[in-house]
Amino acid sequence: MAKTLLVLAATLAAAPLAAQNVPQAAAPARPSAAAAEPAPEDWRDIPDDEILLIQLKNGRQVAIRLAARFAPAHVNNIRKLAAARWWDGESVYRVQENWVAQWGDPTEKKPLPPEILARPAAEFEIGAFTAAQRLSRPDSYASATGITADGWPIATDGTSAWLTHCYGMVGVARDQLPDTGTGSELFTPIGQSARRLDRNYTVVGRIIEGMQYLSALPRSDAAMGVYATEGERTGIVWVRLASQLPADERPHFQVRATDNPRYAAMLALRENPAPPTVATGLNVCDLPAAVRRRP
Amino acid sequence: MAKTLLVLAATLAAAPLAAQNVPQAAAPARPSAAAAEPAPEDWRDIPDDEILLIQLKNGRQVAIRLAARFAPAHVNNIRKLAAARWWDGESVYRVQENWVAQWGDPTEKKPLPPEILARPAAEFEIGAFTAAQRLSRPDSYASATGITADGWPIATDGTSAWLTHCYGMVGVARDQLPDTGTGSELFTPIGQSARRLDRNYTVVGRIIEGMQYLSALPRSDAAMGVYATEGERTGIVWVRLASQLPADERPHFQVRATDNPRYAAMLALRENPAPPTVATGLNVCDLPAAVRRRP
């Protein structure tokens, strides 16, 4: 049966496009899979002080890449909170279905270390749009989107640019006013991307390992998905920068550079799938973080 | 503190838009919240034979609204599979992080009832684009998107139209060829919307209750997220149409009609949030299924 299917598939792939009921534009040239493979030099080390680790009480670990270049004030706060061991003993206290998982201090009463900025200005926008790879269509929230050379998903309205609230990105929770988030309470979208938070919440990072230990947590039916009881929370043992751990205990990560033809070929393959699959489009939030452990 | 925040927020809302660093277009008139509330007659009963219920072994239940009008051949198969009790004793056997949860027969060897179509033609497209409410921008996958009068998210390229693979929509798993899915193996996107499946997979429904009992299942690290061991699977006790249950055991659902000014006002409120929140856009997959239990 499997063999028959393969023969049929090959026949279909060779048939004229019109017979497959897809638009009759000329089929774009598809790069080879080999052309889309990263070269060894495409993997760039992420500095140890841009990796934030969350050790959960259930033994799982989550790794976040910090957007130090785009949200320096909030990332600076986060580094100081980790140094002060502020999150140790706190929890993941909010998991709202198709929205976010959020962690920190559920009481919002724990005193912050004096050395952090209590009201950093919002860092919603990141300056100019400098996408090494630009996606081919506008999306529902931006006139253009793309990926920076160092792998961050971004969007623009033609004037300003911002990091996009894709699945797994990390944002700064706050009260009603834009400058009321310190970085002590953080969240990540766990369902459909949360793009209506773009330019409304400061993005400080992206989860690069262990996302499933947040996305698969039980949802709360209580208001805003905040667990109604302490027993429902997932405890946090500690949060540290990799650079704050002993050298031999640090995980090391690398990100795939996008300013090269190999990454462009990868995008082209995604945008032009092999027949009989029809090309549909590509959203900036469809692209996973291209990150690996340093070999 | 909370009061101070509210006073500040009120001041900010009254300030000129320019001071808030948002584009200086005239602020659109926002409908009142009352204008966006559904009228009693906006709630329309969903027929009992368009509700598919999955009773999980852990005591949880998932309810799916079937897209009988758009995928009649596959929905017909699904009705017959439920009548034949074909899914009873099967399982949710695949949960892939930021992709899909899938259920049915993990061996793909269980004989299908003779009365179902073994190779129904793909039902990727639904005919003309007839959105009662059209969203204002194209998205990454379509020249226009919208919501049908009876609440289904759809998209078009100007020629054909299709149901969109949003979070919680239900698709027909298949092998490589388009007509190899019967409806016996079904999946739902559990992360970022799976829009690259649009026009490539038949959509047969949407989860309208209990989505969290699929989205929060443990992810599998095995190939394609298929659990490596039987013990990881979530057992299915039974699957039935509501119409196949005794009358007094049936749950009844209603969907909010969209072909009225109240739904349009709800969309306008979402697209034009109150300051200081900046308007970002609205994607068809941001709109949850507007469904409730019949009061």
How does pLDDT run across A43-56, given as a tens digit for each residue?
999 999 999 999 99
Q: pLDDT at residue B9 above 90? A: no
Q: Which backbone phi and psi does B200 adopt, to 5 degrees?
A: -120, -20
CA trace torsion B286, B290, B291, B295 (10° rounding): 140
SS3 A229: coil
A59 touches chain B (CB under 8 A): no
CA trace torsion B268, B271, B275, B276 (10° rounding): 170
Helix (H) or strand (E) holding A73: helix A72-83
* CATH of range A48-125+163-252; options 1.10.357.10, 3.40.50.800, 2.40.100.10, 3.40.50.300: 2.40.100.10
Point out the least confidently predicted range of A258-262, A271-275, B1-5, B129-133. B1-5
Count, residues in chain A: 295
Higher pLDDT, B179 or B65: B65
Task: Please choose, from the candidates B108, B116, B93, B85, the residue with its C-alpha nearest in 3D space to the C-alpha of residue B238.
Answer: B85
pLDDT band per the 50, 70, 90 thresholds, residue B29: confident
Token pair listed for A186? 């953080």
Dihedral class, residue B199 (left if φ above 0, else alpha if ψ from -120 to 50, else beta) = left
* Domain boundaries of chain A, sorted by first residue: 29-46+127-159+256-290, 48-125+163-252
pTM of the model: 0.91
Q: Which backbone phi and psi does A217 adopt, to 5 degrees?
A: -70, 150
Burial (CB < 10 A; 0-12, 13-18, 19+), residue B140, is buried
Per the prediction, chain B carries an average pLDDT of: 91
Q: A275 CA to chain B: closest CA distance, Å?
A: 10
CA angle B196, B198, B199 (to 5 degrees): 125
Contact present, A140 and A285 (Cβ < 8 Å): no
* pLDDT tens for each residue of B205-260: 999 999 999 999 999 999 999 999 999 999 999 999 999 999 999 999 999 999 99
Look at residue B263 in the predicted model and tell me its pLDDT: 98
On chain A, the residues whose CB falls within 8 A of the CB of B200 are 277-278, 280
Cα separation, A16 vs A28, whole angstroms: 14
* pLDDT tens for each residue of B63-79: 999 999 999 999 999 99
Mean pLDDT across B141-154: 98
Query: Cβ of B196 and A282 within 8 Å?
Result: yes
Residues in Cβ contact with B147 at an 8 Å cutoff, skipping those fewer than 6 apart: B131, B132, B133, B153, B154, B258, B263, B284, B287
Contact present, B284 and B271 (Cβ < 8 Å): no
Per-block average pLDDT, block size 10, for chain A (295 residues)? 30 32 55 97 98 98 98 98 98 98 95 96 96 94 98 97 98 92 97 97 98 98 97 98 98 98 97 93 96 98
Query: Which CATH number applies to B47-107+117-245+253-283?
Result: 2.40.100.10
Query: Cβ of B218 and A198 within 8 Å?
Result: no
Cα separation, B234 vs B221, whole angstroms: 16
Scan residues 79-138 of B and list those with Cβ closer than 8 Å to A. Answer: 95, 97-98, 135, 137-138
* pLDDT tens for each residue of A209-259: 999 999 999 999 999 999 999 999 999 999 999 999 999 999 999 999 999
Q: pLDDT at residue B173 above 80? A: yes
Residues in Cβ contact with B217 at an 8 Å cutoff, skipping those fewer than 6 apart: A216, B92, B95, B101, B234
A275 touches chain B (CB under 8 A): no
